[in-house]
Chains A and B, each alone.
Chain A
C-alpha cells in the first residue's frame, strides 16, 4: 500500500425518496458493461446484475403498507478502519481483486480470477456474481458490445466497477489537455441514466463535489465503533450494514425512518437508542 497525498475516494449517494424502481440504472449498467443474459433470468440467485434494485416494504398491513426501492451496486468497501482491506479483497487468494488506494475503487480482474468464489462468500451485499455459464449473445447481438469493458468468460467472478473505464477515458482526455478531470467528466452509467436524478456520484475526498456536500462523511472513526470510518453527518443519510465496519462508499438517503432502519441490523429496542445518538452526533455535522 502506498499513500497518495491527493488520492480520490469515489462514492455515491442514492436518494431513495426519488428512486422509482424503474430499472434504468440496471439496464444502463448491463448495456455499458457488456453484461450477458440468459433465457430464464427469473432465478435471481444466478442472474448477473451488477446493479440490482431491491424492493423493501415496511411490513405493515393494507393500507399502511409502504414500499421503497433500493439500488445496490458494488459498495466498494474500504474495510475495517478504512484501511482498504474490504471483505472480498482481503480473501482473494490470487489477487484478482484489489483496492485502489488512489480511487477507493475495488477492482475485479476476470483474467486473474480462477473462480474459487471465496469473495462471494465474504460479501454480505451479494454484489459479486459468478459466470456459471459461458456468455452467449443471440446471433448478431454481440455487435453492440463495448470495447471499453472486456467480456467475461465462464468460471470467473464479476461485479460493478463504478464504470472505471469511464474514469480511464476521462483521464485520457485530461492527459491530452494536460489538466485534472472535472466532476461531471467521470460519472457512472447508472448515475447518468437515472431519470429521477436519484443518484449522485463523485469524489468523497473533494469538498466541492455534490456527493460530499450531501453525505458530509466524518473522517474520524465512529466513537461507538472504531471500525467505522466515514459515517455520514447528515441524519438522513445511512450506509448498508455500517455496523460490520465494511465502510462502504455507497450511501443512501431517505426521509423515512423505517427505511434508514432497514439499512442495518438492530437488536430489539436498540434502534431508538442509536437513532437519538445519531441525531445528536449530526448536530456538529
Chain B
C-alpha cells in the first residue's frame, strides 16, 4: 500500500470524526441544498424550454396584410406573381411595378389593407418593405429554375414542398427574426429543437441535402448551392 493511501485513510478518519460531530446541522444544510437544487433546476429548465425561445426571436408585423388566397383566386397560380425572369433568375416577391399591372392608386376592394397599399405605396411609388419568411443568408445560391425547370422529377417540384400552403393563407403571419443571427425563424423552424413534421417546416442546409440525397443519391457539392 503506497504512502499516499496510508495518509488518505488517516485523513478520512478525522474527516469522519468531524461529520459525526456536526451531523444534525449538516443534514438540514444538505436537505436545504437539495431543495435549492430542485428549485433552481426547475426554474432554469422551464425558462430554457419556454422563455428562451420567446426571447430569442423578435416579432415584426408585415407592412400590411396580404391575402394570398384572394390573389390566387383573382390572378391565378403562384407563377403569375412569382416567376422566373427570362435569364432564369428568380423574381421573388413582386416589386411595385408588377403589382401595378393590376392595381392603381384606386383600391379595387374594400379591405383596409389594400387601402394602405394604395395610399402608402402605390400613390407614393414606394416599394413595399416586405419581410421574407424564406429569406436565405447571403452565402446561399438557390436556383429556383433548377427546382421547377430542371430535367428529372427533382426539377419539377411544386412551391408547396418548401414554402408550404402559404398560397392558401388569407392574412400575413408575423415575421419572426432570430435576434442573434438575423435569420427568419422559418429557416430553423418553429420547433426550438428544429424537429419538423412537414417538408416545409424547416429550410436549413440539411433539409436541402436530405432531399438531394433522396433525389440524386448525392447531397451535391458545396458550390452547387453556395456563392
Contacts and interface: CB of A to CB of B under 8 A. Distances in A.
Interface residues of B, number: 23
A100 B227 contact: no
Contact of B146 (A109, A111, A147, A172): A172
Given A98-B222, A110-B139, 6 more contacts: A107-B223, A147-B138, A172-B87, A172-B88, A175-B88, A175-B143
Interface string B57-100: 00000000000000000000000000010111100000000000
6 contacts: A97-B222, A100-B224, A105-B223, A161-B223, A171-B146, A173-B87
A265 interface: no
Interface in B128-145: 137-139, 141, 143, 145
Nearest to B144: A172
Contacts of A178: 149
B89 A175 contact: no
A109 B139 contact: yes
A150 interface: yes
B41 interface: no
Contacts of B88: 169, 171-177
- B interface, over-half SS: loop
Contacts, number: 75
Interface of B: 84, 86-89, 137-139, 141, 143, 145-146, 149-150, 155, 217-218, 221-224, 226-227
Nearest to A164: B223
B141 A168 contact: yes
Interface of A: 2, 95, 97-103, 105, 107, 109-112, 147-151, 161, 164-165, 168-169, 171-178
A97 B86 CA distance: 32
Nearest to A152: B139
Closest 5 CB pairs of A and B: A172-B88, A176-B88, A175-B145, A107-B222, A100-B221
B227 A172 contact: no
Chain A binding surface SS class: loop
A171 B224 CA distance: 11
Contacts of B150: 175
Contact of B221 (A101, A168, A172): A101
Contact of A149 (B89, B145, B218, B227): B227
Nearest to B84: A176
Contacts of A150: 138-139, 227
A213 to B, nearest CB: 26
B217 A172 contact: no
Nearest to A112: B222
A170 B86 CA distance: 12
Nearest to B138: A150
A148 B139 contact: no
Nearest to A149: B227
